[in-house]
Amino acid sequence: MVFKELETPLFLSSPVQNYTRERRKLHKEKCLPSETCFNGGECVQRKRCDCSRYNATGSRCQTVHNTGSERDSICRTWGQYHFETFDGLYYYFPGKSTYDLVRQNGLDEQSFSIQVHNDPECTDSVYTCGRAVSLFFAGDGEIKLQGNNVTYKGHSVELPHIVEHVHIQRIAGYTIVRHQFAFTLAWDGISTLYIKMTPDYLGKTKGLCGNNNAVIQDDLMTSFGKHFLFS
Ligand SMILES: [Ca+2]
C-alpha cells in the first residue's frame, strides 16, 4: 500500500517554544470538529493531522503498523470500524455495509468467504450497534453468526455443530468456527472477531483482512491493483 506522505511536522522538538505554541493554536482554530485525527494524531491544519505520537500514517492518522511478534498473524476487527490485518496493519474504516473480511484468491472446491455486516443505522456506540458475520463455502449454504445465535441455511442450529469441514462450538463466551483446512474464527457475539488462517493460505487471501503475505505495506491494495487510503 502507499500512504500519503505527510509534510514534516511543524512542531516537533522546536527550540522556539512560544512560537510553536502560537502556531499550534493558530492551526487548531482552522480545524473543524469533523476533521478528527485518529491514533493520537493532532489536527494542526485543515485536513492535516500530525501523526507522530504513535507513528501513524494516513491523512487522518488512520493506519498504524503493528509489528508486535505476539500478534501471531491474526486478523481482528472490533467496534464496527476498527480493523487489523493478518500482516499487522491497523486501520479505521467507518463503513456501514457488508464487507468481505477474507475471501480466497481463485476458485476451487474449497473456496470460501467470511463477511461482516456492519449496522447501516449505527449512530450510537459502535459497541452497541448490531453486527453479524456470514461464512460462505463453495456449493453450500450460508452459516450466519448473530449475537450468540448460529444459523445454517436460515435455520438455527444447536452447538456444537458440524457442517462438512466446519466445526462450530461455544467456548468461554465466544463462538468458535474451525475450518479443517483453512481457518479458525472467534466471534464474541457483539462486535469483535478474530481470524487466523492455516499456513496453507499464506498469500492466498483478499478482503479487509489483507492478503496475508507477511508484507504489511501492500495490505490495502484493491483488486484493481490500486492502493486505497481511507479518508
Ligand atoms: Ca500484506
Cα 164 to ligand 1 centroid, rounded to whole Å:
30
Cα 218 to ligand 1 centroid, rounded to whole Å:
5
Closest to 170 in 3D by CA, of 141, 150, 155: 150
Q: What is the pLDDT of residues 2-30, one digit of tens each?
A: 333 333 333 334 454 554 555 555 455 56
pLDDT averaged over every residue in the chain = 83
Cα 1 to ligand 1 centroid, rounded to whole Å:
8
Listed residues: CB within 5 A of ion ligand 1: 87, 210-211, 213, 215, 218-219
Residue 69 has pLDDT above 80, yes or no: no
**Beta-carbon count within 10 A of 155 CB:** 8
Beta bridge partners of 64: 90
Phi/psi at 177 (5° precision): -115, 120
Cα 173 to ligand 1 centroid, rounded to whole Å:
31
- The C-alpha cell at 205 is 487471501
Cα 120 to ligand 1 centroid, rounded to whole Å:
28
Residue 126 has pLDDT above 50, yes or no: yes
Share of the chain above pLDDT 70, in %: 80
Cα–Cα distance measured from residue 43 to residue 33, given in angstroms and rounded to the nearest whole number:
10
pLDDT for the residue 29:
55
- What pTM did the predictor assign? 0.78
Cα 202 to ligand 1 centroid, rounded to whole Å:
10
Q: What is the pLDDT of residues 168-203, one digit of tens each?
A: 999 999 999 999 999 999 999 999 999 999 999 999
Cα 198 to ligand 1 centroid, rounded to whole Å:
16
